[in-house]
Structure 1
Amino acid sequence: MIKHALRTVAQRSRSLLVPSITEVRQLHSFPAKFSKAYDHDGKTKVSIFNTETDLGLMITGYSQYGFRLNNDMVLIGPISVFPRSVLSWNVNSFEDINEESLSLFPTLEPKIDVLIIGIGDQSPPPSLSKRIVEFMKKYKINVEVLRTEQACATFNFLNAENRMVACALIPPLHVTYNENDILQAKLKKKELYETD
């Protein structure tokens, strides 16, 4: 019952945080009577308010429910992360990854060089990797299909090098802890209970 309640909250929160790809497409579709009045190059223009060039988004944590970014934003569910922005990714598992769910990435301007896909805590099946690589090869985009933990680290590394990279992530079903995680949790707990 608790899992069902958390899943419901996660789905509602995800829809409130960022629009899905379908919602973005609906926002940018023009009725036939307005299509002749639009005489630009067909590319969507976006104004960026954050002009800090040395700062970019990094993934600092993840759980079964979502991801935490270096700006302390918590995002629930599958996400697509770019050097300066984040979108909700409308998939539930790696079985939902297909040409339609990847259709955003070839349309980006400026074009990305590398797409990293994190498929949770499972090893990527060879058939999935092959299908994705063949689809993205048409657009000259390199692809890495990895476990989510490895995908987060790879995205952070390439983003720190100012590469044109995007990352599509599915939260893992199970999270393993290591000694460093336990030590960090103890230190944070100690800081919380310290008094001046």
Structure 2
Amino acid sequence: ATVRRHDPMGPASSGETVVEAYASWGFTVSGVALEGAVLLLPKASFFFSTPHIGLLTPDALRVLELLDTPINMLVIGCGRQSQRVPADVHAWLDQRAVAVEALATAHACSTFNFMVQEQRSVAAVLFPLGSQDVNCNAS
């Protein structure tokens, strides 16, 4: 598997989460290799059990409701190309005033890193490049 280095702004200096590399198997986040999908916050990273965006549900994101400081943006890395966010997920995020940006994973990594550097209230769900590319037709 090819690992693509990815950190245009250099390493994080204050304990911030930074995506350093991505590949078909997963991600290197703040020096730690994480296999599969991940949920990232500005100062924490977690394994994410949903394997691809086609199976993403509001229940999978409910952990975001437990945060002391709510996020106002969710960046989703969909795999090799951008995909539509499932309609129920989009509605659930709208109800919580959370903007969503679904991008190819490479672009989502850059966007998340930039927003963390800017100290924005952001989270990311990143699916690896090898995740099943399923096009969800949101209505």
TM superposition score normalised by structure 1: 0.57
- Structure 2 unaligned regions, length at least 5: 1-11, 132-139
CA RMSD of aligned residues (A): 2.0
Give the drift of 1:121. 1.0
More helix by share: 1
Q: Give 4+ residue runs of structure 1 displaced > 2 Å after superposition.
A: 52-55, 128-133
Q: Which has the larger radius of gyration?
A: 1
Where relative contact order (Cα < 8 A, 6+ residues apart) is larger, the structure is 2
Q: What is the total number of aligned residue pairs between the two structures?
A: 120
Distance in 2 (alpha carbons) for counterparts of 1:122 and 1:94: 11
Check whether the contact 1:106–1:139 (CA below 8 A) recurs between aligned residues. Answer: no
More strand by share: 2
Question: What is aligned with 2:58?
Answer: 99
Distance in 1 (alpha carbons) for counterparts of 2:130 and 2:75: 19
Question: What is aligned with 2:106?
Answer: 149
Check whether the contact 1:119–1:147 (CA below 8 A) recurs between aligned residues. Answer: yes
Deviations 1:26-67 (A, max 9, x none): xxxxxxxxxxxxxxxxxxxxxxxxxx9834111011000010
Check whether the contact 1:115–1:141 (CA below 8 A) recurs between aligned residues. Answer: yes
Amino acid at match of 1:84: K
Distance in 1 (alpha carbons) for counterparts of 2:37 and 2:125: 7
Amino acid at match of 1:149: A
Distance in 1 (alpha carbons) for counterparts of 2:22 and 2:13: 25
Amino acid at match of 1:96: L
Distance in 2 (alpha carbons) for counterparts of 1:138 and 1:107: 16
Question: What is aligned with 1:164?
Answer: 121
Identity rate of aligned residues, in percent?
26
User: Do residues 133 (structure 1) and 90 (structure 2) align?
Assistant: yes
Distance in 1 (alpha carbons) for counterparts of 2:104 and 2:88: 17
TM superposition score normalised by structure 2: 0.78
Check whether the contact 2:57–2:86 (CA below 8 A) recurs between aligned residues. Answer: no
Give the drift of 1:114. 0.9
